[in-house]
């Protein structure tokens, strides 16, 4: 390979050396840690993005963000050609690059070996699309990714400030010649806003005829002091006659994700700081990179109620199955909901037994849910934390199109099919997207004539408790069956089974965290007191058996 390229890489490595003793793995959220110790890894991820692009002959995305983590953290993750997360087989290369010594010859040798193995050349065409969140450290880190990728002759598209789902969408559009949508931020908003308007304008017109003009829906949103605040403004600009969004925690006063954002609200089950709980019928929180969404409201007794990812699964599945039934398409397609062990048992019960929709359970982490969702014509997935989306197969899309065009069908059938087609355009099929999910939720509530209280009362959650347990080595805990059962240490599962059997509707599991050096305990039961007690009993057993 070229000496010139090697020289440039040497300079870059000298400028951003790898701190000694650091071990950094490419996890579910890519590389993520304190921002000040990240620059060196950005060199390696830039090189990897470039190689991936050469191999796939397509644009690869690099998103700089640490999502819901505090401002002092940052991270990077790669996006594959169709807007999905980096293929798992490449995480190995990411980890290999990360673990190499900080020596140009070692790194260069590895690159040459990898390029031979992957059958690509330095001059092969490559394109990397970069975007970042609002963290102070983001511009510098993205610039290092750019400089590193350019060493391998890569064309860079820098989209600067974007939400994570916007970059996923953009990469997809670029690679499929804009069949999915136009490859710009304006294209993204055009697609989701036009679909939203189409879907609810007709419905609002009908309502207006029967019960008078309806004012725009009002929503107060906590934007976690992150990138979402800047982007929500566009929804306001385009949809203000249908939706009035008041944006709080917009980054002008508070700190990113500090006592606010979807993760905070979900974890502490309370409203964030910086958002006055007055006068608004509905509230939402998104996270620092706008790929998670949580709804909540205050009832007339001043009680706080939260609607999380499980609730989105139920709402989306209800709406879609209604439309499939109305369009007489239900028998021709396979629909399923994908959850993790964290899904509240009541939601699973409601989806399976009341809605008659099958549920699959997979290990924690978006990539597992997304992958499983591909098995269905309509795969609806949400993590309880509010991250999720819906995937629609080509088969489903062509059946819907045929139904719309079929003159032998009734008007009602064709209307339902066209509503489904428009709904698909609101959804960001590449990844969970707080903005798209918000519009989809508002559209469904309007079309189903459902209030937020009505949505909440579809079923009652079982009380639950989650605990973090610090143990000396979290790898001692090993799980199976989508993390619902432990296989190590010995006897732990027997003890869990025995404790759980003492509680009505009891359920509990233990798993090592993928993002923190702790073990997580989950418990649910018929009362909060029982759920708390069960969780605490399990904690003691975990501590005892891992001493």
Catalog residues that contact Mg ion under the rule CB under 5 A. Answer: 67, 287, 289, 291
**Minimum CB–partner distance for residue 295 and ligand 16G (Å):** 18
Helix (H, G, I), strand (E, B) or coil at 130: strand
- List, as one string, the DSSP characters of 402-446: HHHH-TTS-HHHHHHHHHHHHHHHHS-TTS--HHHHHHHHHHHHH
Residue 289 labelled as part of a binding site: yes
393 makes contact, choosing from ligand 16G, Mg ion, none, with CB < 5 to 8 Å by partner type, with none
Dihedral sign, CA of 24, 30, 34, 38?
A: positive
232 makes contact, choosing from ligand 16G, Mg ion, none, with CB < 5 to 8 Å by partner type, with none
Asked if 515 touches ligand 16G (CB under 6 A), the answer is: yes
**Minimum CB–partner distance for residue 309 and ligand 16G (Å):** 10
**Minimum CB–partner distance for residue 347 and ligand 16G (Å):** 16
**Residue pointed to by tokens 């090993």:** 478
289 makes contact, choosing from ligand 16G, Mg ion, none, with CB < 5 to 8 Å by partner type, with Mg ion
287 makes contact, choosing from Mg ion, ligand 16G, none, with CB < 5 to 8 Å by partner type, with Mg ion
- CA proximity to 279, closest of 255, 298, 294, 266: 298
- CA 293, CA 284: separation in Å to the nearest integer? 7
The region of 2-10, 48-56, 371-379, 381-389 touching ligand 16G under the rule CB under 6 A is 381-389
| Residue 204 vs 370, nearer CB to ligand 16G | 370
- CA 485, CA 42: separation in Å to the nearest integer? 37
**Minimum CB–partner distance for residue 273 and ligand 16G (Å):** 22
Choice from 372, 414, 520, 539 touching ligand 16G (CB under 6 A):
520
**Minimum CB–partner distance for residue 75 and ligand 16G (Å):** 10
What's the helix, strand, coil split of the chain in %, to 5? Answer: 45, 20, 35
Helix (H, G, I), strand (E, B) or coil at 64: strand
Residue 393 labelled as part of a binding site: no
Asked if 478 touches ligand 16G (CB under 6 A), the answer is: no
Asked if 365 touches ligand 16G (CB under 6 A), the answer is: yes
CB 308 within 8 A of CB 384: yes
| Residue 35 vs 400, nearer CB to ligand 16G | 35
**Minimum CB–partner distance for residue 284 and Mg ion (Å):** 14
Q: How would you list the strands of the sheet with 283-286, edge to edge? A: 243-248, 217-222, 283-286, 293-298, 304-307
Asked if 66 touches ligand 16G (CB under 6 A), the answer is: no
Asked if 28 touches ligand 16G (CB under 6 A), the answer is: yes
Determine phi and psi for 468, rounding to 5 degrees: -105, 135
Choice from 516, 517, 536, 544 touching ligand 16G (CB under 6 A):
516
CB 364 within 8 A of CB 526: no
Choice from 244, 466, 513, 546 touching ligand 16G (CB under 6 A):
513
Asked if 344 touches ligand 16G (CB under 6 A), the answer is: no
Choice from 147, 285, 347, 385 touching ligand 16G (CB under 6 A):
385
Residue 513 labelled as part of a binding site: yes
| Residue 205 vs 268, nearer CB to Mg ion | 268
| Residue 289 vs 308, nearer CB to Mg ion | 289
Cis check: omega of the bond before 489, within 30 degrees of 0:
yes
The region of 94-102, 175-183, 364-372, 496-504 touching ligand 16G under the rule CB under 6 A is 364-372
**Minimum CB–partner distance for residue 287 and Mg ion (Å):** 4
Of 2, 20, 50, 67, catalytic: 67
| Residue 71 vs 383, nearer CB to ligand 16G | 383
Choice from 29, 76, 128, 131 touching ligand 16G (CB under 6 A):
29
Residue 291 labelled as part of a binding site: yes
Residue 281 labelled as part of a binding site: no
179 C-beta neighbours (distance < 10 Å), count: 8
Choice from 514, 532, 533, 546 touching ligand 16G (CB under 6 A):
514
**Minimum CB–partner distance for residue 286 and Mg ion (Å):** 8
- CA proximity to 338, closest of 361, 319, 371: 361
Instruction: Determine whether 67 is an active site residue.
Output: yes
Asked if 187 touches ligand 16G (CB under 6 A), the answer is: no
- List, as one string, the DSSP characters of 442-485: HHHHHHTT--HHHHHTTS-PPPEEEEEE--S-GGG-EEETTTTE
DSSP 26: -
Cβ neighbours of residue 40 under 8 Å, at least 6 residues apart? 13, 16, 17, 18, 19, 102
Tell me which H or E stretch contains 296.
Answer: strand 293-298
Cβ neighbours of residue 15 under 8 Å, at least 6 residues apart? none
Torsion of CA 266, 335, 194, 202, to 10 degrees: -100
**Residue pointed to by tokens 């000694």:** 20
Dihedral sign, CA of 348, 83, 192, 406?
A: negative
Residues that bind ligand 16G (CB under 6 A): 28-29, 364-367, 383, 385, 387, 513-516, 520
Tell me the binding residues for substrate: 383-385, 511-515, 520
* Residues annotated as part of the active site: 67
Tell me the binding residues: 67, 287, 289, 291, 383-385, 511-515, 520
């Amino acid at each position: 390979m070229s000496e010139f390229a090697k020289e440039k890489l040497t300079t870059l490595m000298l400028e951003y050396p790898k701190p000694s003793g650091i071990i950094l793995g490419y996890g579910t959220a890519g590389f993520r840690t304190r921002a000040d110790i990240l620059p060196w890894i950005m060199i390696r991820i830039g090189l990897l993005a470039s190689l991936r692009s050469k191999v796939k002959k397509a644009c690869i995305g690099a998103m700089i963000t640490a999502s819901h983590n505090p401002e002092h953290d940052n991270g990077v993750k790669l996006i594959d050609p169709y807007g999905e997360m980096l293929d798992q087989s490449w995480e190995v290369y990411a980890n290999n690059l990360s673990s190499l010594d900080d020596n140009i010859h070692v790194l260069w040798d590895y690159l040459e070996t990898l390029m031979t193995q992957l059958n690509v050349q330095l001059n092969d065409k490559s394109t990397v699309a970069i975007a970042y969140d609002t963290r102070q450290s983001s511009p510098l880190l993205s610039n290092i990714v750019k400089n590193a990728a350019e060493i391998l002759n890569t064309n860079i598209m820098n989209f600067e400030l974007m939400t994570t789902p916007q970059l996923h969408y953009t990469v997809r559009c670029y690679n499929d010649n804009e069949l999915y949508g136009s490859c710009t931020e304006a294209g993204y908003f055009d697609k989701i806003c036009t679909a939203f308007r189409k879907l609810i304008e007709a419905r609002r017109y009908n309502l207006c005829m029967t019960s008078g003009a309806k004012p725009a829906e009002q929503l107060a949103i906590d934007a976690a002091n992150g990138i979402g605040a800047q982007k929500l403004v566009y929804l306001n600009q385009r949809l203000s006659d249908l939706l009035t969004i008041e944006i709080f925690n917009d980054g002008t006063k508070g700190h990113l994700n500090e006592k606010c954002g979807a993760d905070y609200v979900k974890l502490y089950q309370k409203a964030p700081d910086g958002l006055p709980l007055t006068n608004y019928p509905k509230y939402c929180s998104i996270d620092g990179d706008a790929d998670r969404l949580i709804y909540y409201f205050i009832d007339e007794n001043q009680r706080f109620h939260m609607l999380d990812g499980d609730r989105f699964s139920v709402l989306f599945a209800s709406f879609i199955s209604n439309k499939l039934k109305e369009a007489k398409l239900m028998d021709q397609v396979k629909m399923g909901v994908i959850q993790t062990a964290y899904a509240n048992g009541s939601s699973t019960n409601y989806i399976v037994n009341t809605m008659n929709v099958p549920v699959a359970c997979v290990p924690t982490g978006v990539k597992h849910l997304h992958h499983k969702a591909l098995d269905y014509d309509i795969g609806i997935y949400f993590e309880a934390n509010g991250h999720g989306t819906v995937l629609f197969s080509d088969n489903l899309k062509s059946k819907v199109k045929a139904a719309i065009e079929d003159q032998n069908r009734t008007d009602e059938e064709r209307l339902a099919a066209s509503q489904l087609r428009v709904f698909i355009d609101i959804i960001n099929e590449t990844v969970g997207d707080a903005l798209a999910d918000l519009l989809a939720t508002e559209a469904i509530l309007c079309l189903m004539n459902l209030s937020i209280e009505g949505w909440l009362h579809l079923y009652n959650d079982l009380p639950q408790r989650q605990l973090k347990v610090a143990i000396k080595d979290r790898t001692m805990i090993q799980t199976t069956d989508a993390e619902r059962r432990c296989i190590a240490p010995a006897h732990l599962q027997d003890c869990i089974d025995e404790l759980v059997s003492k509680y009505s509707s009891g359920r509990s599991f233990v798993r090592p965290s993928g993002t923190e050096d702790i073990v997580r305990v989950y418990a649910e039961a018929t009362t909060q007191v029982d759920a708390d007690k069960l969780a605490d009993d399990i904690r003691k057993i975990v501590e005892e058996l891992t001493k």
